[in-house]
Structure 1
Amino acid sequence: MNTMTQQVRLLVIDAEQEGQRLDNFLKTQLKGVPKSLIYRIVRKGEVRVNKKRIKPEYKLVAGDEVRIPPVRVAEANELPSARLSSIQALEQQILYEDDVLIVLNKPAGMAVHGGSGLSFGVIEGLRALRPDARFMELVHRLDRDTSGCLMIAKKRSALKHLHEQLRLKTMRKQYAALVRGQWQSHVRSINAPLLKNVLQSGERIVRVNPEGKPSETRFHVLKRFADATLVEASPITGRTHQIRVHTAHAGHPIACDDKYGDQLFDQRMRDLGLERLFLHASKLTFQHPVSGSEMSLEAPLAPHLQALLAKLPSA
């Protein structure tokens, strides 16, 4: 891959960028540069703030002058054809966009960001689609195998406002999940603490454990089938794999969940054409960070998920 060498840049931090950690700021300015290289140039003193050496966790202040040294960066427009097609496909998945945020219907199988052996994810794809955007960060995350509503902030002030809504639990997220068996209508909420374990392989496994973090998911039956139920799941907390673990804990694992699922049920679903985890972030309700008006955005189920539901015998 061809590379280009940047010149020394002196950037003055404005009010929009204030409060951001230096390492996170550098990641937005040096797109395509490995994190290890970013930390190395900070450690060696090649990055300066107000002409002084600085630590990566330093929080920037409006008026700070940041010196960014020449760094070899991958050509912005030079992407392998497979990646390019995935990036272009993202444009068709955008549900809403304005000056401060994007909400898109994330495809299943695509990570929200690069890492863990992946060099490219949704956020990298959107940055490539919007090269003039000075700031672009994930507001929240979805598992790689989960599809649906994903929000990205285009301004730091919007990110802070939306994170505050998450913290106060005023942002509502609703998911559609196809689970094994007949979900009992009286089970409207599951409160079960979750503990995350990272295996030596790097794989994350979450278990219900009294020593875990408090976790709550609320449930509502959408449609019953002979041996499955389509439920709406609304996570009140936002733990890793929360809905997947809570449904399994209730005895109703999600269809084709390779971590927490039931093999016999999954095989029946695969025989009917299901090739992915049946978990979809269907609706996102929040307060717009600028106008203050309430917004509700919905992501339709993928056609093959709708086709699967049409094949299931009714209860």
Structure 2
Amino acid sequence: MPQWSLEDMVSMDGKIAIVTGGNGGIGYHATKNLLKHGAKVYMASRDSPKSHDAIQRLKEETGKDAIYLLPIDLSDLRGVRKAAEEYLSKESTLDVLMNNAGVMAAPVDQLTKDGYDLQFGVNVLAHFHLTMLLLPALLATPNPRVINISSRGHLMAPRAGFLWDKLKGPKKGSWIPGLGFIERYQFYGQSKLGNILFSNELARRYGDKGLIAISVHPGVIQTELGRNHNNINRWIYWNIAYPVEYGALTQLYAANTPEAKELSGKYLEPVAKVTAPSSLATDPELAKKLWEYCEQELKDY
């Protein structure tokens, strides 16, 4: 049974949050509870009927109106900049940035609009870009929190951490004949490793300015992330996974509770438990290398 529940959430009156991927799954339930407890929430999702429907449902379910769409396409780095600029034109502070959206087990030949592996491009690079662009608002806020949604799937990362030469450019099918499904999870694993490393390095670089960065594994949850599994894995996934509401608990704990202020640079697993990730995930040199890679790749965006 959870040691922390939604009943333990404290008021977020006067606070502002952004949740990427807030129009469905775990992000929807995180958005709902932030809104319910008084936060003004920007749903950073595609400008789509799904997003508009989600906002209407959130208003009806919470009785709150302080929910706004921040249109964003995380597969388009210039679109990420546009979203950040739109936010900064409206708000000068930001209390919580929940980097929640993600792609799982996508075919390795799927690329972002800028030519990056889809899983790395969306899960890591786009969220790095968004966070850096929003730093002025974050650092203008007392004790801002950046919650990076990772996964125990980071354990599936390649032995060296990242396949650096495969992060960008066309990839035509599997380079391991007949084992393309393994590559999908390896690419997913390196992206989730990237979330933890980014979170740790963000905490190290900006902790002295009051910024709190926490990475979170939500658990094995029944969400649309499982749509790219093969039939056998999809059946297993849906029969062992927890309901989606459960998946939002740990990231809400990290975003909301006073005690989480002391957890910057930590990795949490359900529910709200500080856990040791892999040795790769705590490698400061690998974190620095990833940070510098992202900075270099984003210099023209």
| TM-score, normalising length: structure 2 | 0.29
Query: Which of the pair has the greater relative contact order for Cα pairs under 8 Å at 6+ separation?
Result: 2
Higher helix share: 2
Structure number, greater radius of gyration: 1
Return the structure number with greater strand share: 1
